[in-house]
């Protein structure tokens, strides 16, 4: 019964995220998971099954790219998605393992509450970097539209997730004990009090407002990369852009131009002149080539500044199988999914320069890498706004594009910067520095989103310090729980 309940709680947890946004269900799932771990003799299995449920629904969007665009038969695509879910759920097992060792066998105590929150947060942090990471479905993302969101500029999404899990575990402990306990009680009241105190505080100051136009070209993904489609793709981008030359900033989506710069120099020169004549900062997504000293070259996924904008940014955080293929020699050619367009890319440098607009620097994130908060934070520290371009066509009408936008909104809130998001077929949106949507386009239409973005100055505490304060707190709590556990074990041995 407990294993099935763990699986069900994982599924319920994923309903807290976009597009469902039933965040109270996520909170209940976290509480139920904490309750299960305290009563199960198989915490590793319970934690893994919770992860299977969570990612089984929350990451189901992978199926679309494998089946629809990777041309894998439905049974094979389903099998590959199951393998992915079963593997990524392994990252939840450290929660069960650590909780079993740190809680000290005392359910409902302050110790068990802290052990659960520390174990969960360490797993989330691991997912930001280990094996390239998968920083997705953190509890904090689901709270973007709640009062608790005011914590994000202070502690980031990882800190917000930690406080969310801590509060729910403490509240569960109080409920089960049916009496007031100062330890769990303070762990509930403390974060709530901080949320109330932070409500009126503004960490950054708005400055000037700029006119923007975001292009959503809605190209046919299955034909987009055919050489015969290059001119068609370009005409569509230009047609959508034509009424909006003269805005302060125009943003085209990821790989809007489907040819390397070296192959279309005249086109880029024409775009440069057109944007310059209209005094427009134009940023376009385009595949790029970087020559190597040995005469070979690397392919890269670029954002290029044209017109009165300048600079280029190469995608650093690459998506396995989308941007590159692990075990390439063994997997290439087995199915179409292992040979998708742009799956030969090489990463850009870790510390690239921001794009330079005529009125500010712009911190850039291409597609999936907007999920990496620490990377975005570094670039945002000297930027006046955030830009992200993507091609979520790979995930169709699934939950993926909605989750992706939710994550991008969190980056705006954490750093106190407005964000512009241009995608091939949605969701294209303008987000203010509080992480709120100002405007968006519907999915699966070709259109331009015209609007305003407000620049800001100043820096949030999270933008200055990043995740280090949280990591120090987690390290201190982990060490304290581990050392006192050893003493408890020694005392138990002596008494026996």
DSSP state of 318: P
Is the CB of residue 257 less than 8 Å from the CB of residue 270? no
DSSP string, 403-450: HHHHHHHHHHHHHT--EEEEESSS--EEE-TTS-EEEEPPTT--EEEE
| Count of C-beta atoms within a 10 Å radius of residue 197 | 10
Active-site entry in 210, 367, 369, 414: 367
3-state secondary structure of 87: helix
Tokens, residue 422 = 């241009």
Residue identified by tokens 């990377």 is 375
Give dist(CA 392, CA 405) in Å, integer.
10
Question: Is 224 a residue of the active site?
Answer: no
Residue identified by tokens 């389903």 is 78
Question: Is 315 a residue of the active site?
Answer: yes
Give dist(CA 387, CA 390) in Å, integer.
10
The CA–CA distances, whole Å, from 157 to 27, 203, 392, 415 equal 16, 16, 23, 11
Question: Is 82 a residue of the active site?
Answer: no
Residue 252's closest CA among 428, 454, 438, 455?
Answer: 428
Give dist(CA 251, CA 309) in Å, integer.
11
Is the CB of residue 322 less than 8 Å from the CB of residue 394? yes
DSSP string, 10-66: HHHHHTTSTTT--HHHHHHHHHHHHHHHHH-S-HHHHHHHHHHHHHHHHTTTHHHII
DSSP state of 69: I
CB proximity list for 132: less than 8 A, separation 6 or greater:
317, 318, 320
Sheet containing strand 249-251, edge to edge, reads 312-314, 297-307, 281-291, 249-251, 205-216, 447-457
Task: Give the DSSP H or E segment for 452.
Answer: strand 447-457
Active-site entry in 254, 361, 369, 414: 254
Active-site entry in 315, 361, 369, 414: 315
Give dist(CA 142, CA 131) in Å, integer.
24
Tokens, residue 193 = 């009090």
Catalytic residue IDs: 254, 315, 367
């Amino acid at each position: 019964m407990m294993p099935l309940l763990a699986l069900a709680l994982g599924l319920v947890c994923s309903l807290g995220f976009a597009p469902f946004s039933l965040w109270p269900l996520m909170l209940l799932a976290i509480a139920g998971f904490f309750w299960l771990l305290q009563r199960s003799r198989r915490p590793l299995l319970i934690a893994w099954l919770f992860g299977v449920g969570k990612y089984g629904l929350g990451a189901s969007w992978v199926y679309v790219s494998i089946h629809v665009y990777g041309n894998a038969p439905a049974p094979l695509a389903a099998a590959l998605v199951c393998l992915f879910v079963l593997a990524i759920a392994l990252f939840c097992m450290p929660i069960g393992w650590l909780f079993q060792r740190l809680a000290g066998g005392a359910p409902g105590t302050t110790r068990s509450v802290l052990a659960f929150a520390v174990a969960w947060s360490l797993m989330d942090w691991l997912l930001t970097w280990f094996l390239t990471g998968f920083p997705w479905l953190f509890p904090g993302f689901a709270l973007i539209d709640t009062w608790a969101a005011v914590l994000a500029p202070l502690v980031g999404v990882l800190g917000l997730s930690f406080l969310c899990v801590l509060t729910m575990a403490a509240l569960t402990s109080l409920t089960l004990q049916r009496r007031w306990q100062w330890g769990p009680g303070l762990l509930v009241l403390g974060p709530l009090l901080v949320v109330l105190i932070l409500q009126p505080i503004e960490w950054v100051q708005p400055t000037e407002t700029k006119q923007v136009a975001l292009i959503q070209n809605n190209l046919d993904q299955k034909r987009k990369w055919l050489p015969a489609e290059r001119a068609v793709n370009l005409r569509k981008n230009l047609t959508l852009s034509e009424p909006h030359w003269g805005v302060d900033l125009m943003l085209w989506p990821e790989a809007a131009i489907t040819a390397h710069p070296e192959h279309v120099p005249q086109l880029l020169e024409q775009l440069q002149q057109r944007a310059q004549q209209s005094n427009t900062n134009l940023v376009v997504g385009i595949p790029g080539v970087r020559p190597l000293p040995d005469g070979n070259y690397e392919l890269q996924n670029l954002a290029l500044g044209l017109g009165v904008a300048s600079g280029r940014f190469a995608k650093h955080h690459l998506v396995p199988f989308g941007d590159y293929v692990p075990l390439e020699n063994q997997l290439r050619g087995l199915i179409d999914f292992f040979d998708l367009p742009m799956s030969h890319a090489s990463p850009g440098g870790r510390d690239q320069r921001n794009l330079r607009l005529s009125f500010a620097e712009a911190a850039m994130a291409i597609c999936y890498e907007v999920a990496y908060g620490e990377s975005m934070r570094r670039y945002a520290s000297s930027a006046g706004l955030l830009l992200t371009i993507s091609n979520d066509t790979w995930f169709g009408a699934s939950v993926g594009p909605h989750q992706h936008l939710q994550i991008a909104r969190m980056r705006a809130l954490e750093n106190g910067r407005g964000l512009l998001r241009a995608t091939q077929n949605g969701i294209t949106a303008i987000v203010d520095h509080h992480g709120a949507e100002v405007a968006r386009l519907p999915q699966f239409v070709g259109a331009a989103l015209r609007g305003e973005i407000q620049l800001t100055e100043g820096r949030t505490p999270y933008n200055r310090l990043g995740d280090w304060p949280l990591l120090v707190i987690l390290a201190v709590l982990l060490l304290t729980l581990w050392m006192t556990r050893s003493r408890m074990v020694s005392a138990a041995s002596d008494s026996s």
